[in-house]
Amino acid sequence: MTIELDLPDIQGLVARGYGQLPHSRFLMLSVTDRAGAREALSRLLPQVTTADERPDATALNVAVTAHGLAALGVPDRVADGFPREFLAGMSDPHTSRLLGDLDGSAPEHWAWGGPATPPVDAALLTYAADAAALDRQCDALEQDVRSSGWRVAARLDTLPLQPDEPFGFHDGISQPLLEGLPRAAGRDATVRAGEFVLGYPNEYGKLTDRPLVDAGDDPAGVLAHNGGRDNRNDLGHNGSYLVARTLRQDVDGFWRWAREATRGSDGTSDEARAVALAAKVVGRWPSGASLVKTPEGDDPALADDNDFGYHHSDPHGFACPIGSHVRRANPRDALDPDPGSPESIAVSNRHRLLRRGRVYRNDDGETGLHFLCIGANLSRQFEFVQHTWLANPNFAGLYDDADPLVGPRAARGATFTAPGQPVRQRYRDLPRFVTVRGGAYLFLPGLRALSWIAGDHP
């Protein structure tokens, strides 16, 4: 059942988050001239980091949007093979409704990727071991692409890699382990490669639909054959979809709310109570320790202990609330069918995300996350998790509780329920703590596919 991943053709970001390269910058680009843009892209090809490398100086990955494919001249007959949600893009009105990107998070207010800002056609994701190396790499890249058919639509800087996200919680602990990677060898609890890389069997044992190219559109045979009986080549092979979103976090507002909500009847505030409530909202303690493992207080010794379920130890959410952020972003064994069973975990595994985000802080003090995640099926993975688990006020039997940390606060969903004994504590009218400031759906092609995209198209 183990599969062989074609690591030299897969972009490096799929395999690793570049923990050794703490500095990163994401350059969002628009095409200004098709021929020049293709040439620049072709020149970048040798610099693209692949999944078989372990870079210790710099890394570069390249992704393109549906708008970018058209701008680069990929014919519609090929592009139409991409899934609808990728083609529609993240700022499509139906997508916004699905993701809860309404009111202050609506695309018309975005700093990048929305209708009021330049189109995002491609993203250059750059990583380096130190700040100077990152600047050198980015300057050279920018100079190259700007001289040849591209302009920079947005420059997303990040803070040097740190374990905590801006609210102050250890982040990135639970990541799906991708079948076929060297470090997954001999481990249980891997997720099928096809959940994250196109061209391999997914959790249903099937190949996710990919865009296919008639032989006539690939005369040089750059792409791999699609493996079926017909004569078409596979543009999707070894590629993934990349979701990019800039999520502004109102850190002061979050902690102000936690302190106000835990003020005693005599008006006194108590930092320990505020932290405990914040932990209930997040679903982990600031150290990262799970509330299921240590319900009464933080225990840094358990920070990286990721071996737990919810159903058997905490079915009602007395320790980790049903509506808390991490319990809904990855419900593990908590949902139907048959909570606590392998079937329940199997269902959760069809909705996993490989997270690759980095924290940012702008000069004006705005801080948050440049959220990146990778998957092979935008609608079943990212959109499902965002809609059905996070933004949904009725998640798992709740009534008016969108995700208390990252959820939208549209007409409904501003309640947080902390189950307890003898009875729950309910918090009403939560403010919005996270606002979407930009976003795009991108395709992170395999190296051959990237080379085909950068080539001439009839």
Partner 1 sequence: MPHQLAVTVRAPIAPGRKADVVQLLSDINRKGAASGPLPFAEMEGVHFARLFVIDDATDLEGRSLPASLVYMADIDAPLGRHWGELAAKAGPGLDEVFGRCADYPTEPVTPGARTAWLRGHSVASGAVYVNTVGRGLQQIRGEAWLREAIEDFLDDPSVSRARASATEVRAAVREFVASRPDLAWALRPPSPPSLGFRLREAAHKVCVPLVALLLSPLLLLALPVWGVLLRTHERRDAANRERPSLEHVRMLDRYEDHATQNPFTAVGLVKGGWFRQLTIRAVLYATNYGTRHLFARGNLAGVKTIHFARWVSIDDRRRVIFVSNYDGSLESYMDDFIDKVAWGLNAVFSNGSGYPATRWLVLDGAKDEQAFKNYLRRGQLPTQVWYSAYDTLTAHNVATNASLRAGLWADLTPDQTRDWLTLL
Told to check if 433 binds partner 1 by CB under 8 A, we report no
Total of residues contacting partner 1 (CB under 8 A): 40
Question: For residue 191, what are the contacts with CB-CB under 8 A and spacing of at least 6?
Answer: 176, 177, 178, 179, 203, 349, 352
Minimum separation from the CB atom of position 206 to partner 1 (A) = 6
Minimal distance, residue 226 CB to partner 1, in Å: 13
80 binds partner 1 (CB under 8 A): yes
Nearest approach, Cβ of 232 to partner 1 (angstroms)? 14
| Residue with Cβ nearer partner 1 (88 or 111) | 88
Q: How far apart are CA 392 and CA 398, in angstroms?
A: 9
Q: Which is nearer to partner 1, 303 or 436 (CB)?
A: 436
Does 380 sit near partner 1 (CB under 8 A)? yes
- Which of positions 87-116 make contact with partner 1 (CB under 8 A)? 87-88, 94, 97-98
Q: What's 229's DSSP letter?
A: S
Q: Provide the minimum distance between the beta carbon of 196 and partner 1 in the complex, in angstroms, as a whole number.
A: 16
Report if residue 209 touches partner 1, rule: CB under 8 A.
Answer: yes
Task: Select 109 or 412, whichever has its Cβ closest to partner 1.
Answer: 412
CB-count burial class (<10 Å; 0-12, 13-18, 19+) for 41? buried
Closest CA to 84 of 377, 453, 386, 372: 377
Q: Contacting partner 1 (CB under 8 A), which of 102, 251, 347, 410?
A: 347
Residue selected from 45, 263, 426, 431 as contacting partner 1 according to rule CB under 8 A: 426
Q: How far, in Å, CA of 189 to CA of 356, rounded?
A: 20
Q: What's the chain's length in residues?
A: 458
Which CA distances in Å does 72 have to 32, 63, 64, 230, 440? 10, 13, 10, 27, 17
Please state the closest distance from residue 350 (CB atom) to partner 1, in A.
7
Told to check if 174 binds partner 1 by CB under 8 A, we report: no
Per CB under 8 A, does 412 bind partner 1?
Answer: yes
Q: Which residues contact 178 (CB under 8 A, 6 or more apart)?
A: 14, 15, 184, 190, 191, 193, 195, 196, 197, 354
Closer by beta carbon to partner 1, 39 or else 203: 203
Question: What whole-number distance in Å separates Cα of residue 138 and Cα of residue 125?
Answer: 10
Cα distance between residue 65 and residue 243, in whole Å: 10
d(CA 274, CA 316) in angstroms, rounded, equals 22
CB-wise, 76 or 252, nearer to partner 1? 76
Q: Does 350 bind partner 1 (CB under 8 A)?
A: yes
* Candidate residues 220, 365, 423, 429; the one interacting with partner 1 per rule CB under 8 A: 423
Sequence-ordered strand ranges (E) for 240-291: 240-249
Q: Rounded CA gap, 24 and 13, in Å?
A: 12
As a whole number of angstroms, the distance between CA 43 and CA 162 comes to 32
x-marked contacts with partner 1 along 232-271 as a string, rule CB under 8 A: ---------------------------------x------
Which stretches of the chain bind partner 1, using CB under 8 A? 80, 84, 87-88, 94, 97-98, 202, 204, 206, 208-209, 265, 316, 336-337, 347, 350, 379-380, 383-384, 387-388, 392-394, 396-397, 399-400, 412, 419, 421-426, 428
